[in-house]
Amino acid sequence: MYKFNSKQLTYSLITLILIVFSFLGFKKIEMFEPNISLDDYTIEEGFDLKVIASENYIKAPVAMDFDNKGRMWVVEMTGYMPNLEGIGEEEPTGKIKILEDLDKDGVIDRSKVFLDKLVLPRALAFIYGGLMYVDGPKLWFVEIKNDQPGKKTLVDPIYAEGGNVEHASNGLMMNIDNWIYNADYNFRYRLQNGKWLKEPTSMRGQWGITKDNFGRLYFNNNSTHLQGDFVLPNRVIKNKYFRPKAAENQMLTDNKVFPIHATSVNRGYVKNVLDENGFLKEVTASCGPVIYRGSSFPASYNQNAFVCVPEANLITRSILDVKTTSIKGTRAIPGKEFISSKDEGFRPVNLFNGPDGAMYIVDMHRGIIQHKAYISQYLTELLAKKQLDTLQNAGRILKVTHKNAKAYEIPDFTKTTSKDLVNLLSHPNGWIRDRAQQLLILRKDLTIVKDLKTLTLASNEYSTEIHALYVLEGLNALTFGFLEETAKKSKQPETVAHALGLLEKYAITANVPKFKQLVVLLQAQNNETIDLYLASSLGSWIKISENNFLPILSEIEKKYSTDKVFQDALTSSLEGKETVFMDKMTPNELLKTNLNLAITNKQKKEPNPIFVKVKNEVDGRTKGLQLFRSICATCHGADGKGIENLAPPLKGSEYIDGSTKRLAAIILHGIGGPMSVGGKRYELNNEMPALLNNSSISDQDIVDIIGFTQNAYAKEPKRITVADVKKMRSKKPEGSGVFNEKLLLETDFEK
């Protein structure tokens, strides 16, 4: 519900000014500040929740970022499920908008389009002075000139190819190591020396990705509330024939949720999905996590994990207990969520830290959040009954602040000097440190190298030393000697861990004596974090001097013989040296099992999938939907409601609700003549075409078609296997080879 306040009477003059601005290149300008009631929302005590942008400025937002002036850049994915049938989602209706607060009252009052005519855009990142974004399957980088798109570079033509929109690559987050990571894709990106790099990384999550101050990554999928890696990215995947078992993709919390109203979810009819009052018990659409790094909340909230649960209209908060080889999340307040709402249009899909220390919520604000490929008949009917399918083209950005927020000045990065940026690497707000790091690398100002080197030994709780290390790395200003000295002198094990990773680049014979001396010194510290990253980084040195470093690796292995994360790291470092290590060092049973698995995988030519997978595969239900639309919808309608005098409806059909084997036989052999469906007689004289002899349609394709129809139209969805379909090929009717109603009823398809 919208309410106008008196202040809007003063907007006429500003509106006239904005009309003039429109002639200066702005594609679109709007001016309106709605006052939206949040009476149906509850938030943890001590916090305030405010709508800062809404429908007149944005529609269906799914991601956002801030530029160097602190303005919001928002992705609109209006093509997602434009109706209950999902028809028209590939239309180029998506946009990226710049949102501004002209009168500085904390509410957006100007929106202008930066890019439009995008197909299902789902992510963006303000990096390298430009914008990285997704358009259809392609990943682009575009330069920005006076808020207008400049030169475009195609970074990856198959970034989001394959899969369903709910399982397509997204996230685009620059980590502290200068690499851009994402959710639901096994590659990371980086611009270096004018060229875009793309290399494998572990597959992580489904929608949204975040990081902590150390650089560990966190993510989730729809039915797993929060997952994460116990180690820094790409540190335990160096053995191409071993897939880490314990160090990555670990579940960090339970999946319980505590909504404040009865919940409309896709599988609400399944036992134990809802409680006796109709409240959701565990997450089914978990997404968009963020590790809070803003520092304006009380200290106890720093590096807490916040997670979106849009199907239950809430946001959770978990406190993370982070150790070297484990992370455990505990709900902050048992039985209660950080934000809960009775507004079923509240669909938080992404969370972000802001330059002001606040947490920002991207609320897609719509009724339908389940794609057609997965939506059940149960949910379709429920949404229609509640008229939630009519809630389209809305959208909001909400801001969370604490009542006693720490105040600090937000820098205008367009006016900062290089010295200013170096100082900002020590800022308590992680967003500001991240942006300062990126801009220092972008400016290529080597006059601040000395200051950065000093900073690598300046201990504070905000990982300042690590930021400084990676600015130097981005400036190509690191040397073996400097990294060696940093690792020796640093009082921060986390800084040493990163330095060890950076030292791998310098693994050459000439550096072996000094590096071995360094390793001996580091081992003497008896620090678990340092030992873990020694275990993960020694592989590069073993390849050039196994006699010097295999014994050191063996010492670490014996010290942590029961720790599975350490054993993952050791296996990673021993790529190509598995047999040598087992022959010379007599490893424990856990490591021996890992090494034998790597050897076997290499013999079978079965590497870790991330090294062979180039794009996401289309899942069965999405493929089933695509096949249904191309083969079946012509007669049965895209909505499955049938077409008069052509084909009966599928919803309510005993042929959909009955045996899936019989359904497979119909698809394979066709059917003709009059028939009764759902208690109604259809006097049809045509025949449904048979797919038996269509060489382009496989048995798996038919399984996928049936899987989609069962999910979309059956009262109680049932499965069918490829073997079942293959068997139905022999059920060809005598005579014409096409079924009629009588033959269907007489044939026993279960034999």
| The pLDDT value given to residue 256 | 97
Looking at residue 32, its pLDDT comes to: 59
- Greatest mean pLDDT among 32-41, 666-675, 684-693: 666-675
Mean pLDDT of 345-350: 97
Out of 385-394, 402-411, 462-471, the most confident range is 462-471
Angle between helices 578-585 and 546-559 (to 10 degrees): 70
Looking at residue 473, its pLDDT comes to 98
Least confident window among 15-24, 177-186, 529-538: 15-24
Report the distance separating Cα 661 and Cα 727, nearest Å: 9
Q: How confident is the model at residue 631 (pLDDT cuts 50, 70, 90)?
A: confident
Residue scoring higher pLDDT (275 or 33):
275
Token pair 């979810």: residue: 265
Instruction: Convert the pLDDT of each residue in 216-230 to its tens digit.
Output: 999 999 999 999 999
d(CA 404, CA 402): 5
* 595 and 563 inside one domain: yes
Contact residues for 358 (Cβ-Cβ < 8 A; gap 6+):
294, 296, 399, 400, 401, 405
> How high is the pLDDT of residue 34?
62
- pLDDT at position 726 is 93
C-alpha–C-alpha distance, residues 474 and 190, integer Å: 10
Task: Indicate if 119 and 182 belong to the same structural domain.
Answer: yes
pLDDT for residue 356: 95
The phi, psi pair for 544, rounded to 5°, reads -105, -15
Q: How confident is the model at residue 751 (pLDDT cuts 50, 70, 90)?
A: confident
Residue ending a domain, choose from 608, 635, 653: 608
Nearest-angstrom CA–CA distance, 361 and 384: 27
The predicted pLDDT at position 24 comes to 45
Q: How many domains does the chain have?
A: 4
The answer to whether residue 485 sits within a structural domain is no
Angstrom CA distances, 208 to 221, 370, 671, 717, stand at: 9, 17, 46, 30
Rounded to whole angstroms, how far apart are CA atoms 655 and 662?
Answer: 7
Instruction: Give dist(CA 580, CA 178) in Å, integer.
Output: 35
Instruction: Check residue 31 and give its pLDDT.
Output: 52
- Amino acid identity, residue 487? A
Out of 354, 377, 402, a domain closes at 402
Say if residues 333 and 314 touch (Cβ distance below 8 Å). no
Query: Is residue 614 one of the residues assigned to a domain?
Result: no
Closest CA to 156 of 171, 177, 137: 137
Res 481 pLDDT > 50: yes
* Band (22; pLDDT cuts 50, 70, 90): very low
349 plus 471 within the same structural domain? no
Q: What pLDDT does residue 626 have? A: 84
Q: Do both 537 and 640 map to the same domain? A: no
Q: Give domain status of residue 228, yes or no.
A: yes
| Co-location of 129 and 21 in the same domain | yes
With residue 431 as reference, give the H or E element that holds it. helix 430-443
Query: What is the rounded average pLDDT of the residues 134-140?
Result: 96
Quote the pTM value. 0.89
Question: Could you tell me the residue range of the domain that residue 652 belongs to?
Answer: 620-746
Per-residue confidence band for 18, with pLDDT thresholds at 50, 70 and 90: very low
Give the CA angle between residues 326, 463, 498 to the nearest 5°.
65
Q: Which of 80-84, 351-355, 480-484, 515-519 has the lowest mean pLDDT?
A: 80-84
Quote the CA–CA distance of 222 and 230 in Å, as a whole number: 21
| pLDDT value at residue 254 | 96
Q: What is the mean pLDDT of residues 490-517?
A: 97
pLDDT at 683: 85
Query: What are 401-434's pLDDT values in tens digits?
Result: 999 997 788 899 999 999 999 999 999 999 999 9
Cβ-proximal residues to 432 (8 Å cutoff; 6+ apart), any chain: 355, 410, 411, 424
- pLDDT tier for residue 3 given thresholds of 50, 70 and 90: very low
Residue 418 sits in the same domain as residue 396 = no
Residue 653 inside a domain? The answer is yes
CATH number of the domain enclosing 667: 1.10.760.10
- 628 with 668, same domain: the answer is yes
Interval 699-722: pLDDT, tens: 999 999 999 999 888 888 899 999
Residue whose structure tokens are 């909340």: 297
The answer to whether residue 751 is domain-embedded is no
Q: Residue 700 has which token pair?
A: 């798996």
- A 10 A CB-CB count for 505 gives 12
Q: Which residue among 573, 608, 643 closes a domain?
A: 608
pLDDT for the residue 644: 82
pLDDT at position 600: 97
Q: Distance (Å, rounded) from C-alpha 293 to C-alpha 357?
A: 8
pLDDT for position 7: 35
Same-domain check for residues 220 and 327: yes
25 — pLDDT class (breaks 50, 70, 90): very low
Q: Is the pLDDT of residue 200 over 90?
A: yes
Residue 638 lies inside a defined structural domain of this protein: yes
Q: Is residue 136 part of a domain?
A: yes
Q: What mean pLDDT is reported for the chain? A: 91
**pLDDT score, position 737:** 84
Helix (H) or strand (E) holding 72: strand 72-76
Average pLDDT score over residue span 317-323: 98
Q: Are residues 380 and 443 in the same domain?
A: no
Residue-wise pLDDT tens digits, 450-465: 999 999 988 778 899 9
pLDDT of residue 111: 95
pLDDT at 163 over 80: no
Range with the poorest average pLDDT among 46-50, 81-85, 355-359, 515-519: 81-85
SS3 state of residue 690: coil
Residue 460's domain is classified under what CATH number? 1.25.10
The listed range with the strongest mean pLDDT (18-32, 154-168, 427-441) is 427-441
Residue 70 CA to residue 414 CA, distance in Å, equals 10
Residues 508 and 561 in one domain: yes
Evaluate whether residue 484 is within a structural domain.
no
Secondary structure letter of residue 740 according to DSSP: -
Q: Helix H segments across 293-395?
A: 377-385
Give one DSSP letter per residue of 184-224, joined into a string: S-SEEEEEETTEEEEEE-----SS--EE-TT--EEEEETTE
468 and 548 both lie in a single domain = no
For the chain, percent of residues with pLDDT exceeding 90: 72
Strand partners, 681: 676
Whether residues 208 and 310 share a domain: the answer is yes
pLDDT at 26: 45
Taking residues 163-187, what's their average pLDDT? 93
Render 123-178 in DSSP notation, one character per residue: -EEEETTEEEEEETTEEEEEEEETTEEEEEEEEETTTT-SS-GGGS-EEEEE-TTS
pLDDT of residue 114: 98
